[in-house]
Structures are given as structure tokens and as C-alpha cells.
Chain A
Amino acid sequence: MVAISCEGIGKRYRIGREERYRTLRDALTEFARAPFRRGASLWRSPASASDPKPELWALKDLCLEVKHGEVLGIIGRNGAGKSTLLKILSRITKPTEGRAEIRGRVGSLLEVGAGVHPELTGRENIYLNGSILGMTRREIDRRFDEIVEFSECGRLLDTPMKHYSSGMYVRLAFAVAAHLETEILFVDEVLSVGDVAFQDKCLGRMKQAAGGGRTVLFVSHNLLAIQALCQRALWLDRGRVIAEGRSAAVISDYLSHVRTSTTEVFYEDPTKAPGNNVVRLRRASVRPLSESNSGSITVRTPLLIEFELWNRKVDLRFDYGFNLYNEYGILVFNTGTVDCRSYPAGLIRASGQIPGDLLNAGVHRIELLVSQNENELILVCPDLLTFEVGDSLSLRGCFYGEWPGAVRPNICWTTEVLG
């Protein structure tokens, strides 16, 4: 039995505007111009009568079939169309073209705690959130105790959620979602929340769901989780299917592809650089700290990271930093300034060092973050830099296998013989 089938699904977005929404004035001027444009297009062949607004196909010609009880992992870089696919299948947004058919009751979990209200208590939010996710009040009643137990927030059940720590907030929200009893489940990157112990618990819950004969579509950057949960995987890039098949095979294909490194980006033309009216990127690079080391990076090499930013606002106060991910999509660390300094308008160079003997071997990705007012992000550049850290033969004794772990610090051991 087929649970989900897609035929030629495509989704087009219009881009190229800084403001995300239109003003009435835009619509009016467009409306006034429309007859002229229509007239003009008579003179041109339809192919050349291109819309001045650039378009982006977030998904294109996607065909897919998922059987009942199958667990499909969807991987790909940011902007590959993974979330768009789940949004279309959950009926949040319509495809521009194509057709999909879904058999079975759908539950989708695209964001932990969508609809949770901070002023309401935990108990109230369990009902509200459950209802939003599509549970009936009876179902929630029946599973209420289980949900509370899973969330580990029993003590605070009658406290408004705004007093919860962010960890508890996420736990409660996920607990509700984890008890959805639908035949089909769409999950988008929700396992990357909470502390490690809770992530484990969520993963266990997902395994249970996957094993219980339910159909699951699972989007994640965490390739290890995908490999553990899914028999089959789909690799998307720029809206198209690159590979599909056994998850282990697809993941290894994907990994060999993303191992192409970008150690420097430079934007000569500010209008094309990522950014906005406040800050804009000019250059970013990662290279070995010492000049003598000609390009190759190993686990022992200290690295120099540089960002050059145009600051467009006089005396803008901001913090910058980056997230460093490894090839499994695990956040290795986050670093950045915390003093919210004020900067003059103009070009700013930020540089920082990653000490040697810290990173493990493998491909690493850097995501640049610029924020103001403590934690309001004003610029995020995912996958800005990609570089491979090579292994080093020193410090590994006689072991030649893959060194486990997210980091590989060189710990100094002292051994005393005590008797």
C-alpha cells in the first residue's frame, strides 16, 4: 500500500525583495503597470518575456513514492527544499505544479511548540498544543499522564510556561508531539533541540514510531540519526532529487559530495553579497594560522578564521560569531563576541583562532552569525565556509581506524605508579 505519492511536485518562490511582504503601494503600481507589460509582451516571444522578478524553484519535478510503514530520511544542504517538501505534504503551502496523494491521517511536526503560549500553564498548553497538532480532546485526556511523564515537567504543570527554562519548554512541547497517534508523521529537524539526554529520548521515541508500522518522513541534518532511523533516504539539492535509495548508500554519496571545500569567499560587489541594510558580508576565510603550513589542515593545525563585514549603520552595536558543524551535522561548538560593542560605519574585520588539537578529522562547515540586542539574529550565513580537517598520524599510537568523537583535544596524561 502506498501512503504518499508525489508526481512532478514543484514550488516556486519569488525572491529578490528585501522586505518579505508587499505594501499596498507596490500592488497599486504593479496594477497600473500591468496593462503596459501585457501589451509589451505581445511584441516579444513568450520565452523572452521574462518576468523582471527573479524566481526560485524551491522544489522542481519531484516524484516520490512512500509505502505504508516506511521510514524515509530526507537530507541535503540548507535551502535544498527539504522543509518545503514537508510543508507541501502537510498542506501548509500549495505546490506551484504537480500533484500529491496521501492516504492516512497526517501529523506533522515542523516546529517544536508551534502554538505554545507562554502565558498559559503547562497543563493548558498540553491541551492547546495537542489540539493544534490534530489530537482530539479525548486522545489528550487519555495520554495526558504519559505526556507529563515524558516531559519531566510534572512539578510545574500549573505554572505559566514563560517561567520555564528553555529546556523544559522544549521538553513539554516535544512530549505532546511525541504522543501523536497518526499513521503518517512528518518530522523536521526537531531532534536537534534540548539537552543530549533528552535528544536520546526523542530519538528513542522516533525509533518506536518508526518501528510501529507508521509512515515517517524525517528531515534532519543529523546524518547519524537518519542512518539509525531510516531504511531509505532521499537526497535533495536545490529542489531536485540527487539520489534516492538505501540510507547508508545515499548518505555516503552525500558525504563525498559535501567534502568539496570552500575555504574563502569574497564579494566584490556588495549588492550581491549576503546581508541586509545593516550588515553585509565582504569576505570570509579559513586557513592555517602559520604561513609556512601550505594549505593543508590537519587535526593538529591551528586555524585562522576571518570575516570582513560592511557595517551600514553608524554606531551599530552587534555581536558576531559562528557555529561550527561537522559532517554529521552535529554542532561542534559555537563561539563569538558577547560584549555587544558599538562599531562605526564602514568595513570591519573580525578574526579568531581555532587552536590546534581541537577539531577531529572530517569535513567542517562554518555558519556565520551576526546578532544585535543580545540574541536577535540580523545575519545568518549557513554553510559559508567548508573545509576538511585531515587526520594526523602523530598522537595516535598504533590505532589507524577512524577516531571517534566530535572533537579531538590533545589531553596531557600523567601517570603515576602508586604501588
Chain B
Amino acid sequence: MHNTGATAAVIIRGAKSSWSLEPRELWQHRELLYFLAWRDIKVRYKQTVLGLAWVVIQPLAIALSLSLFLGRLVKGSSEGLPYPLFAYSAMVIWQLFANAFTDSSNSLLANERLITKVYFPRLLVPLSAVLASLLDFSISLLVLALFLGYYRITPTLAIAILPLVVLLAVLIALGVGLWLAALNVKYRDVRYTIGFLAQFWFLATPIAYPTSVVPDRWRVWYGLNPLVGVVEGFRWALRGAGAAPLSLLAVSACVAVAILMSGLYYFRRTEDTFADFI
């Protein structure tokens, strides 16, 4: 139990006095964050025959079909990686991003009853969805390690930036998720946009093809998609050869910060009305 001797008064009023993340309150609710993520993970593959295997099947199946249909077209330009590995490694990090952002975008609606009946920092909801997607990721990462072994690729020092790239993917997903989750409460159109957005984003990211196929004059605009840097960085960390895509990563990081900060701001500004609109 908390110390009850000197409880600070909680002030409730209409307008938010200042915009802050209230990290103390978030920290106090860290257990709830854990429980929400744990629930999402527990529930996700209940009553499925294949269970956790789905985590691996999805990216593998897509990587396989890409290899079958597109592998020939980009032959020789898959950045020195065998095409199946080229596609699968990108799929692993892409799936982390896609799951994290779609789940967090839908998270508030999925927890409608909680939002309207219980108080806790609303930020925990999309945050827990992102957290839950990390488990899937770590499993498909293990499979990726097996792949690397099969193709006899030994990681170099470059692997050290892997956690940073993953963090970048997670932050972008969280930023987008915060925006869409908050918008989703008010505008149900968003729900229909998410799937489309994910597909579009998939095509605009060098997963099935290398960045080199993008014409030079488009490269700058293309690089503004923060996932380009993430996927290139992820592949480079595994491959360890060639030049590091530093400028792409830098652009990604800047875009990520912009999305995340604006997402946090919008989310915090609108969260007081979630219970009224959901």
C-alpha cells in the first residue's frame, strides 16, 4: 500500500493546466503495463492449433512467396544476400513494425470497456500493444539466426547497431500508433485506413526489392519514409559488409522523433475525451 500519511490532493478540472507526460504516474502504473501486454500475448494465440508457430509462419510465408515471384526480377541486386534471406530479414523487422503499429492503433477501441469504466494513464494501452509485439519479434529473430547459420553468414561488429534499429522501428510504430489510436476513437474511418496504410507502407519500403532500384531523383523523398532506414539498417547490421546506411538512418531517426513527439502531444491532448467519444 502507498503511504497514506501525506497524500497529495488530486485536482480534477476541465482544462489541462500544462502538457506533461506525467512520468511519475506512468511509473506507478508500470505493473498494469506489464499485465496488459501479458494479456495481449496470452490471448493472441489461444484456440489456434498452431499457436506460437504463427509468429514464424507469417513472415516466412511472405518471404517465400516473394522469393518465388519477385526473387528472379531483382536477381543479383539483393545487396549481396541470398534473396530468401534478403526478403525474410526485412520481413522480420517489418512485421515488428506493422504489428506494433496496427495493434496499437486499434488498442483503444479494443479496450473500450476499460476506457469507459476505469481510470489509468491511457498511454498504457497503445504502449502495451507495442510491448506485446516484441515477443513475436524475438521469436522470429531466433528463426532468422537459424537462417543466417544455414547461409553461413557470420555477423560482424555491425550487429551491435541491431538493438538501435529495433528501437527505432518500435518508436516509429508507437508514434504512428498513438496518432491513429487517438484518431480512431473519434473517427472510425481510421479503422479502415489502417490495413490499407500497412499495405501501402509495405510497398514503399525496400522489403521485396533493394533501395537501388529506386531512381536517384526520387531517393530523397523515398528516404523520408523512416522504414527505409530501418530496413536498410537492419539488413546492414546482419550483413556487416558494404557501407553503413548512415544518412538513411539519420533521416529515419529524425522522422521518428517528429512522429513520436507529435503523436504523444496529440494523444495527451485528446485523451481526456476518449471516454466521451469511444
Contact count A vs B, C-beta below 8 Å: 119
Of B10, B46, B47, B272, chain A has the most CB atoms within 10 Å of the CB of: B10
List chain A residues, Cβ under 8 A from B152: none
Q: Indicate whether A90 reaches chain B with its CB closer than 8 angstroms.
A: yes
List chain B residues, Cβ under 8 A from A102: 9-10, 12
Contact between A23 and B189, CB atoms less than 8 A apart: yes
Contact between A183 and B119, CB atoms less than 8 A apart: no
List chain A residues, Cβ under 8 A from B221: none
Of B12, B187, B190, chain A has the most CB atoms within 10 Å of the CB of: B12
List chain A residues, Cβ under 8 A from B11: 99-101
CB nearest to A87 among chain B residues:
B275
Encoded as 1 (CB less than 8 Å from any A CB) or 0, chain B from 233 to 267 comes to 00000000000000000000000000000000000
CB nearest to A183 among chain B residues:
B4
Contact between B118 and A132, CB atoms less than 8 A apart: yes
Contact between A99 and B118, CB atoms less than 8 A apart: no
Contact between B187 and A132, CB atoms less than 8 A apart: no
Surface stretch bound by A, among B109-117, B154-162, B197-205 = B109-117
Surface stretch bound by B, among A109-117, A364-372, A392-400, A403-411 = A109-117
Q: Which one, A96, A105, A132, contacts B114 given CB within 8 A? A: A132
Contact between A21 and B43, CB atoms less than 8 A apart: no
How long is the Cα–Cα vector from A106 to B7 in the complex, in angstroms?
11
Consensus secondary structure, chain A interface? mixed
Surface stretch bound by A, among B31-39, B74-82, B97-105, B141-149 = B31-39
Q: In the assembled complex, how far is the CB of residue A43 from the closest CB belonging to chain B, in whole angstroms?
A: 29
Q: Indicate whether B51 reaches chain A with its CB closer than 8 angstroms.
A: no
Encoded as 1 (CB less than 8 Å from any B CB) or 0, chain A from 112 to 152 comes to 00110101100010011001111011010000000000000
List chain B residues, Cβ under 8 A from A124: 39, 42
How long is the Cα–Cα vector from A128 to B111 in the complex, in angstroms?
13
Encoded as 1 (CB less than 8 Å from any B CB) or 0, chain A from 69 to 106 comes to 00000000000000000011111111111111111111
Q: Indicate whether B120 reaches chain A with its CB closer than 8 angstroms.
A: yes
Of B43, B117, B188, chain A has the most CB atoms within 10 Å of the CB of: B117
Q: Indicate whether B2 reaches chain A with its CB closer than 8 angstroms.
A: yes
How long is the Cα–Cα vector from A190 to B83 in the complex, in angstroms?
60
Q: Which one, B4, B32, B120, contacts A104 given CB within 8 A? A: B4
How long is the Cα–Cα vector from A106 to B43 in the complex, in angstroms?
29
List chain B residues, Cβ under 8 A from A136: 31
Q: Indicate whether B72 reaches chain A with its CB closer than 8 angstroms.
A: no
Q: Indicate whether B212 reaches chain A with its CB closer than 8 angstroms.
A: no
Contact between A131 and B46, CB atoms less than 8 A apart: no
Q: Which one, A22, A23, A103, A133, contacts B118 given CB within 8 A? A: A133
CB nearest to B33 among chain A residues:
A131
Q: Which one, B12, B115, B186, contacts A89 given CB within 8 A? A: B12
Q: In the assembled complex, how far is the CB of residue A175 from the closest CB belonging to chain B, in whole angstroms?
A: 17
Q: Indicate whether A306 reaches chain B with its CB closer than 8 angstroms.
A: no
Q: Indicate whether B273 reaches chain A with its CB closer than 8 angstroms.
A: yes
List chain A residues, Cβ under 8 A from B275: 87, 92-93
How long is the Cα–Cα vector from A13 to B39 in the complex, in angstroms?
33
Q: Indicate whether A27 reaches chain B with its CB closer than 8 angstroms.
A: yes
Contact between A94 and B31, CB atoms less than 8 A apart: no
CB nearest to B271 among chain A residues:
A94
Q: In the assembled complex, how far is the CB of residue A134 from the closest CB belonging to chain B, in whole angstroms?
A: 8
- Given A92-B119, A111-B117, A124-B42; 15 other pairs, CB 8 A cutoff: A21-B277, A23-B188, A24-B187, A25-B189, A91-B12, A92-B118, A95-B12, A98-B14, A100-B11, A105-B2, A128-B39, A131-B31, A137-B31, A181-B1, A183-B7
Those 4 A-B pairs whose CB atoms lie nearest each other, nearest first: A114-B117, A100-B12, A24-B189, A131-B35
Chain B residues at the A interface, C-beta cutoff of 8 Å: 1-2, 4, 7, 9-14, 31-32, 35, 38-39, 42-43, 46-47, 111, 113-120, 185-190, 272-273, 275-278
